[in-house]
Structure 1
C-alpha cells in the first residue's frame, strides 16, 4: 500500500502487517534537499517502477527511482505553484494540477508546457478556485476537481466543457451542487492512475 503521509513529509510503502517497506522523505522534516519533501500531496507508481510525487510546497513534481534517486523534475519551467496532483500520461507527458495558478498544465519530458487549462476565467468564477485534481480520461478529455468553484468538469483538449457537476462558485448540497470537491474519477478508467496489479492493456 502506497501512502502519501503528508503531515510526516514522506511517502511510504507498507505491507499488510503494517510494516514500512520503503520510504521517501525524512520523517517530520519539510525541505527540498535530498530525501526531503514539503507537504507531498500525491504519489503513484509508474509503469517503469518509479514513483511520481506531487511535492506541493516545493512547487515541483519529481520522479524518483525505488532507490530514491530523482531522475526527473517538473516545474513547467519554474512556473508551478502548489503542485496538488500529478500523473504520467500514455504519451509520456506529465499532467500537473497547478493549484495556486488555478490551472492544469501538461508538460513534456523537457518540462515544456504543451497544454494547459485555466479554471478561473468564466463569468462568476471564484478568482482563486485552487483546483485539486486533474485526471486525463481514456477518451482524451480531462476531469478536473475545481475545488472552490464547487464543481467537477470534464473538458475536451480544446477546453470545451462537456460535463459539469456543481454550479460554479455556488457551494451547496442541493440538486447539482457541490461544496469544495477535492477528487473525482471515472470508475474503471485508470488513465494516469496507478492501475491494479495484473491489469493489462490501455489504462
Structure 2
C-alpha cells in the first residue's frame, strides 16, 4: 500500500510517496504537513532535472528546488558531467546552460545553421525534439523535415549525417527521442509512424518495432482519454531488449529483438495510478525503472519508480500544483 506525505519546500507544497514506510516515519510525515521539510536522515527521494510550467529546474532529493531558471517547454534534457544543462530552446535550437551563471554558453540552431535549402528558396519548418551530447565532445541532433541525424562539433561543423526513414512525415512528429548506442547505431523514436527504428551509421534500418494498437481505435487528445502509438522514448537494455515509453499508448513495453513483449506496464495496472502520455523511461543503477507520466492531470504522479520484477511502486513525484500538466522530460540524477 502506498503511504502519502505532504511536504513543504520552497514555499510550495508537493507530494512524495514511498512504499512500506515504517510507522515512525509515517507519523513523522504527518508532522511535516505543519513543520516543513523532513530532516536529512529521513529524506528518501531522488535529485531530478526537469522542465515544468515555465521553469527549468533541478529538485533536491527532498523535493526542494536546488536550481532553476525560466525556460519554455522541452522534449529532451541532459545534465553534463560538469553540471551544465543541455536543453532545447524553442522549436529548433539546442543550447548549453552554465549551471553557475545560468547563461547560455553554446547554441546550435538547425533552422539557421547548415541549412539544406537551395539559394533563393525557403525551407520547410525544421524542428528538433531530441539531441545527445556524445563522449567525443560532439552533439548528436535529430532534425525533422530534413529527416536526418547529424553530429556537430562545438563550432557548428557537421561531421556526419545519417538519413532517417519517415513514412508519415510532419515537422512535429518525424521524431521524438533518439539515442546513439554503444555499437555506433542510432535508436530513434518516430512518433508519427508509431515505430522505433535502429539505424546503422549509413542510415540502413537494421531493426524496427511498430508499437501495437492492441486492437483499439485511435482516440484524440493528450490525457488519459487519448489513445494511439505515438512512441516517445526507447532505451536499449543490457540484455539486448528495448524498453520504450509508448506516448499516448499509456504503457511501457520491453520487447525482445524478435518483437515479443516480455514485460509491460499498462495504463491502469499500478494501484492508484493512471498513466497518460508516457514519455521518458530511465533505468537506474539499481535496476529500477522510472517512468515519465505527462498530461495525467491533478492527483497523478509525473514520475514513477518501479521495481521491475515485482512491479512494485517504490517512489513517485507529484508536483502538479507548481509544475503543471506538461512535464514531458526529466532525468533522475544519480551522484
| Structure 1 and Structure 2 fold alike (TM over 0.5) | yes
From the superposition, tell whether residues 174 and 74 of structure 1 become closer, same or farther in structure 2 (CA, over 3 Å): farther
Aligned pair 1:75/2:157, yes or no? Answer: no
Q: CA deviation at 1:21?
A: 1.7
Does the 8 Å contact 2:147/2:165 carry over to 1?
no
Aligned pair 1:115/2:198, yes or no? Answer: no
The aligned residue for residue 86 of structure 2 is: 3
Tell me the C-alpha RMSD between the 2 structures: 3.2
The aligned residue for residue 86 of structure 1 is: 178
Q: CA deviation at 1:68?
A: 0.9
CA distance in 1, matches of 2:242, 2:277: 18
Where does structure 1 differ by over 6 angstroms across 4 or more consecutive aligned residues? none
From the superposition, tell whether residues 121 and 87 of structure 1 become closer, same or farther in structure 2 (CA, over 3 Å): same
Q: CA deviation at 1:177?
A: 3.9
From the superposition, tell whether residues 146 and 78 of structure 1 become closer, same or farther in structure 2 (CA, over 3 Å): closer
Q: CA deviation at 1:80?
A: 7.6
The aligned residue for residue 261 of structure 2 is: 161
Q: CA deviation at 1:3?
A: 2.9
The aligned residue for residue 129 of structure 1 is: 229
**Unpaired stretches in structure 2, ≥5 consecutive residues:** 1-83, 117-122, 219-226, 288-330
CA distance in 1, matches of 2:276, 2:112: 30
Secondary structure (helix, strand or coil) at the match of 1:159 reads coil
The aligned residue for residue 63 of structure 1 is: 151
CA distance in 2, matches of 1:53, 1:13: 13
Q: Which deviates further from its counterpart, 157-166 or 175-184?
A: 175-184
Q: Which deviates further from its counterpart, 102-111 or 133-142?
A: 133-142
Q: Which deviates further from its counterpart, 135-144 or 72-81?
A: 72-81
From the superposition, tell whether residues 157 and 24 of structure 1 become closer, same or farther in structure 2 (CA, over 3 Å): same
Work out which of the residue numbers 29, 33, 43 in structure 1 matches 2:115: 33
Q: Which has the higher contact order (CA 8 A, sep 6+)?
A: 2
CA distance in 1, matches of 2:279, 2:85: 19
CA distance in 2, matches of 1:80, 1:47: 32
Does the 8 Å contact 2:149/2:164 carry over to 1?
no
The aligned residue for residue 142 of structure 1 is: 242
CA distance in 1, matches of 2:144, 2:270: 29
Secondary structure (helix, strand or coil) at the match of 2:161 reads strand
Work out which of the residue numbers 184, 187, 192 in structure 1 matches 2:284: 187
Work out which of the residue numbers 88, 102, 110 in structure 2 matches 1:18: 102
User: Structure 1 or 2: larger strand share?
Assistant: 2
Q: CA deviation at 1:133?
A: 0.7
CA distance in 2, matches of 1:71, 1:117: 29
Q: CA deviation at 1:12?
A: 0.8
CA distance in 1, matches of 2:166, 2:247: 24
Bigger Rg, which one: 2
